[in-house]
Amino acid sequence: LKSQQISRTKYVNHLFTEPSDEADELCQRIWNGQSSQSEEITEAFGIKLTRRDLSTLSDRNWLNDQVIDFYLQLICQRSEATENLPKVYAFNTFFYLNISTKGYDSVRRWTRKVDIFEYDLLLVPIHLEAHWCLAIVDLAMKRIDYYDSLLGRNKKCLDCLKNYLTEEYEDKKKETFGFKGWKFSLRRDIPRQTNGSDCGVFVCKFAEFASRRAPMAFTQQHMPNYRRVMVYELVEKKLL
Protein backbone atom coordinates (compact mmCIF):
# COMPACT_ATOMS: atom_id res chain seq x y z
CA LEU A 1 0.00 0.00 0.00
CA LYS A 2 2.84 2.40 0.75
CA SER A 3 4.08 2.35 -2.82
CA GLN A 4 0.64 2.38 -4.40
CA GLN A 5 0.01 5.52 -6.44
CA ILE A 6 -3.67 6.40 -6.64
CA SER A 7 -5.32 9.31 -8.39
CA ARG A 8 -6.80 11.73 -5.88
CA THR A 9 -9.84 12.35 -8.05
CA LYS A 10 -10.84 8.70 -7.87
CA TYR A 11 -11.48 8.95 -4.18
CA VAL A 12 -13.64 11.95 -3.55
CA ASN A 13 -14.70 14.98 -5.53
CA HIS A 14 -15.90 17.03 -2.59
CA LEU A 15 -15.61 16.70 1.16
CA PHE A 16 -19.36 16.37 1.54
CA THR A 17 -19.90 13.73 -1.16
CA GLU A 18 -19.63 10.03 -0.61
CA PRO A 19 -16.21 8.52 -1.31
CA SER A 20 -15.99 6.55 -4.53
CA ASP A 21 -15.97 2.77 -4.80
CA GLU A 22 -12.19 2.85 -5.06
CA ALA A 23 -11.93 4.71 -1.75
CA ASP A 24 -14.21 2.22 -0.06
CA GLU A 25 -12.12 -0.62 -1.46
CA LEU A 26 -8.98 0.93 0.00
CA CYS A 27 -10.65 1.16 3.40
CA GLN A 28 -11.85 -2.41 3.23
CA ARG A 29 -8.37 -3.67 2.29
CA ILE A 30 -6.92 -1.96 5.32
CA TRP A 31 -9.72 -2.64 7.78
CA ASN A 32 -10.51 -6.22 6.76
CA GLY A 33 -7.21 -7.41 5.33
CA GLN A 34 -5.67 -10.65 6.49
CA SER A 35 -2.23 -9.17 7.11
CA SER A 36 -0.91 -8.51 10.59
CA GLN A 37 -2.43 -5.60 12.50
CA SER A 38 1.12 -4.41 13.12
CA GLU A 39 1.83 -4.08 9.38
CA GLU A 40 3.14 -0.60 8.62
CA ILE A 41 0.93 1.13 6.04
CA THR A 42 2.37 4.64 5.89
CA GLU A 43 5.04 6.79 7.53
CA ALA A 44 5.80 10.51 7.65
CA PHE A 45 6.71 13.22 10.16
CA GLY A 46 8.46 10.60 12.28
CA ILE A 47 5.12 8.81 12.77
CA LYS A 48 4.35 5.29 11.58
CA LEU A 49 0.75 4.22 11.01
CA THR A 50 -0.02 0.52 11.12
CA ARG A 51 -3.09 -1.35 9.98
CA ARG A 52 -4.23 -1.27 13.61
CA ASP A 53 -3.87 2.53 13.76
CA LEU A 54 -5.85 3.07 10.55
CA SER A 55 -8.49 0.63 11.76
CA THR A 56 -9.41 3.14 14.46
CA LEU A 57 -11.03 5.09 11.60
CA SER A 58 -13.44 2.26 10.86
CA ASP A 59 -17.06 2.19 12.01
CA ARG A 60 -17.43 3.87 15.40
CA ASN A 61 -13.99 3.24 16.80
CA TRP A 62 -12.17 5.92 18.75
CA LEU A 63 -9.26 7.51 16.89
CA ASN A 64 -5.91 6.92 18.54
CA ASP A 65 -3.17 9.44 19.15
CA GLN A 66 -1.06 8.28 16.19
CA VAL A 67 -3.82 9.03 13.69
CA ILE A 68 -4.57 12.43 15.20
CA ASP A 69 -0.90 13.45 15.36
CA PHE A 70 -0.35 12.38 11.74
CA TYR A 71 -3.45 14.21 10.50
CA LEU A 72 -2.53 17.44 12.27
CA GLN A 73 0.90 17.27 10.63
CA LEU A 74 -0.79 16.96 7.24
CA ILE A 75 -2.59 20.20 8.05
CA CYS A 76 0.73 21.88 8.89
CA GLN A 77 2.26 20.50 5.70
CA ARG A 78 -0.53 21.97 3.58
CA SER A 79 -0.27 25.29 5.36
CA GLU A 80 3.44 25.51 4.66
CA ALA A 81 3.00 24.63 0.99
CA THR A 82 0.00 26.85 0.24
CA GLU A 83 0.05 30.62 -0.12
CA ASN A 84 -2.57 32.69 1.68
CA LEU A 85 -3.25 30.06 4.33
CA PRO A 86 -2.46 30.73 7.99
CA LYS A 87 0.88 29.39 9.17
CA VAL A 88 0.06 26.45 11.43
CA TYR A 89 1.97 24.60 14.14
CA ALA A 90 0.58 21.48 15.83
CA PHE A 91 1.60 20.21 19.24
CA ASN A 92 1.46 16.46 19.67
CA THR A 93 -1.17 14.64 21.68
CA PHE A 94 1.06 14.37 24.76
CA PHE A 95 1.76 18.10 25.04
CA TYR A 96 -1.36 19.13 26.93
CA LEU A 97 -1.19 16.13 29.27
CA ASN A 98 2.35 17.06 30.20
CA ILE A 99 1.84 20.77 30.68
CA SER A 100 -1.43 20.36 32.59
CA THR A 101 -0.06 17.75 35.01
CA LYS A 102 3.68 18.43 35.20
CA GLY A 103 3.96 22.11 34.37
CA TYR A 104 5.96 24.18 31.91
CA ASP A 105 9.35 22.66 32.67
CA SER A 106 8.16 19.30 31.32
CA VAL A 107 7.68 20.78 27.83
CA ARG A 108 10.14 23.67 27.81
CA ARG A 109 12.64 21.87 25.57
CA TRP A 110 9.98 20.64 23.14
CA THR A 111 10.18 23.94 21.23
CA ARG A 112 13.92 24.53 21.43
CA LYS A 113 14.16 24.34 17.62
CA VAL A 114 10.99 26.24 16.79
CA ASP A 115 9.62 29.70 17.53
CA ILE A 116 5.89 29.16 18.02
CA PHE A 117 5.31 32.90 18.01
CA GLU A 118 6.13 33.02 14.31
CA TYR A 119 2.95 31.04 13.56
CA ASP A 120 -0.63 32.23 13.10
CA LEU A 121 -2.33 29.18 14.62
CA LEU A 122 -1.25 26.67 17.25
CA LEU A 123 -3.24 23.42 17.35
CA VAL A 124 -3.44 21.69 20.72
CA PRO A 125 -5.14 18.26 20.77
CA ILE A 126 -6.49 17.39 24.20
CA HIS A 127 -7.27 13.92 25.51
CA LEU A 128 -9.63 13.88 28.49
CA GLU A 129 -9.71 10.22 29.52
CA ALA A 130 -12.14 8.84 26.89
CA HIS A 131 -12.77 12.06 24.95
CA TRP A 132 -10.82 14.17 22.45
CA CYS A 133 -11.06 17.97 22.33
CA LEU A 134 -9.06 20.70 20.63
CA ALA A 135 -7.73 24.09 21.63
CA ILE A 136 -6.57 26.60 19.06
CA VAL A 137 -4.26 29.46 19.95
CA ASP A 138 -4.79 32.10 17.28
CA LEU A 139 -1.78 34.36 17.58
CA ALA A 140 -2.82 36.39 14.55
CA MET A 141 -6.33 37.13 15.84
CA LYS A 142 -5.32 37.22 19.52
CA ARG A 143 -7.59 34.55 20.92
CA ILE A 144 -7.66 31.07 22.41
CA ASP A 145 -10.65 28.89 21.54
CA TYR A 146 -11.66 25.56 23.04
CA TYR A 147 -13.54 23.13 20.80
CA ASP A 148 -15.46 20.28 22.41
CA SER A 149 -17.94 18.46 20.18
CA LEU A 150 -19.93 17.55 23.31
CA LEU A 151 -19.91 21.23 24.37
CA GLY A 152 -18.11 20.50 27.61
CA ARG A 153 -16.61 23.35 29.58
CA ASN A 154 -12.91 23.42 30.37
CA LYS A 155 -11.79 26.83 31.56
CA LYS A 156 -8.76 25.11 33.08
CA CYS A 157 -7.49 24.49 29.55
CA LEU A 158 -7.72 28.16 28.59
CA ASP A 159 -5.88 29.17 31.77
CA CYS A 160 -3.26 26.48 31.20
CA LEU A 161 -2.51 27.64 27.66
CA LYS A 162 -2.47 31.26 28.71
CA ASN A 163 0.13 30.41 31.34
CA TYR A 164 2.08 28.40 28.78
CA LEU A 165 2.28 31.35 26.39
CA THR A 166 3.46 33.56 29.25
CA GLU A 167 6.21 31.17 30.31
CA GLU A 168 7.26 30.22 26.78
CA TYR A 169 7.58 33.88 25.76
CA GLU A 170 9.57 34.71 28.86
CA ASP A 171 11.83 31.68 28.39
CA LYS A 172 12.48 32.12 24.67
CA LYS A 173 12.17 35.90 24.24
CA LYS A 174 13.16 37.09 27.72
CA GLU A 175 10.19 39.44 27.63
CA THR A 176 6.68 39.58 29.08
CA PHE A 177 3.86 38.37 26.83
CA GLY A 178 1.04 40.88 26.57
CA PHE A 179 -2.58 39.71 26.55
CA LYS A 180 -4.15 43.10 25.92
CA GLY A 181 -7.00 42.67 23.43
CA TRP A 182 -7.03 38.86 23.68
CA LYS A 183 -10.24 36.83 23.87
CA PHE A 184 -10.75 33.41 25.47
CA SER A 185 -13.70 31.27 24.47
CA LEU A 186 -15.28 27.89 25.18
CA ARG A 187 -16.89 27.66 21.76
CA ARG A 188 -20.59 26.80 21.64
CA ASP A 189 -21.30 27.74 18.00
CA ILE A 190 -19.69 24.60 16.60
CA PRO A 191 -20.76 21.25 15.10
CA ARG A 192 -21.80 18.81 17.78
CA GLN A 193 -21.41 15.04 17.89
CA THR A 194 -24.42 12.88 18.70
CA ASN A 195 -22.65 9.63 19.52
CA GLY A 196 -19.87 8.57 21.85
CA SER A 197 -17.18 7.68 19.34
CA ASP A 198 -16.58 10.45 16.78
CA CYS A 199 -14.83 12.99 19.00
CA GLY A 200 -11.43 12.33 17.38
CA VAL A 201 -12.82 12.89 13.89
CA PHE A 202 -14.44 16.12 15.07
CA VAL A 203 -11.09 17.27 16.46
CA CYS A 204 -9.38 16.62 13.12
CA LYS A 205 -12.09 18.46 11.20
CA PHE A 206 -12.18 21.39 13.64
CA ALA A 207 -8.45 21.76 13.02
CA GLU A 208 -8.71 21.31 9.26
CA PHE A 209 -11.48 23.88 8.81
CA ALA A 210 -9.84 26.37 11.19
CA SER A 211 -6.54 26.03 9.33
CA ARG A 212 -8.30 27.44 6.25
CA ARG A 213 -10.38 29.89 8.30
CA ALA A 214 -13.39 28.19 6.75
CA PRO A 215 -16.90 28.15 8.29
CA MET A 216 -17.40 24.89 10.15
CA ALA A 217 -20.33 23.73 8.10
CA PHE A 218 -20.00 20.00 8.70
CA THR A 219 -22.30 17.91 10.90
CA GLN A 220 -22.46 14.51 12.55
CA GLN A 221 -23.84 13.03 9.33
CA HIS A 222 -20.54 13.71 7.55
CA MET A 223 -18.47 11.65 9.98
CA PRO A 224 -18.71 8.23 8.25
CA ASN A 225 -17.52 9.73 4.97
CA TYR A 226 -14.82 11.77 6.67
CA ARG A 227 -13.43 8.59 8.20
CA ARG A 228 -13.00 7.05 4.75
CA VAL A 229 -11.56 10.20 3.23
CA MET A 230 -9.10 10.46 6.11
CA VAL A 231 -7.83 6.93 5.46
CA TYR A 232 -6.97 7.97 1.91
CA GLU A 233 -5.37 11.23 3.03
CA LEU A 234 -3.23 9.45 5.61
CA VAL A 235 -2.10 6.76 3.18
CA GLU A 236 -1.31 9.31 0.46
CA LYS A 237 0.21 11.76 2.99
CA LYS A 238 -1.73 14.66 1.52
CA LEU A 239 -4.99 16.43 2.31
CA LEU A 240 -7.63 16.72 -0.38
CB 135 within 8 A of CB 146: yes
Marked catalytic residue, from 24, 131, 171, 222: 131
Marked catalytic residue, from 127, 148, 198, 204: 148
Marked catalytic residue, from 27, 133, 199, 204: 199
Query: What does DSSP assign to residue 115?
Result: -
Based on the residue annotation, tell me whether 131 is a catalytic residue of this protein. yes
Based on the residue annotation, tell me whether 204 is a catalytic residue of this protein. no
CB 70 within 8 A of CB 127: no
Based on the residue annotation, tell me whether 145 is a catalytic residue of this protein. no
**Dihedral pair phi/psi, residue 100, rounded to 5°:** -80, -20
Rounded Cα distance between 45 and 48, Å, is 8
Q: b/e map of 56-67 (b: 16 or more CB within 10 Å)?
A: bbbeeeebbbbb
HSE of 240, CA atoms in CB hemisphere, 13 A: 23
Rounded Cα distance between 137 and 184, Å, is 9
For residue 203, which of 183, 184, 230 has the smallest C-alpha distance?
230
Q: Which residues are catalytic?
A: 131, 148, 199
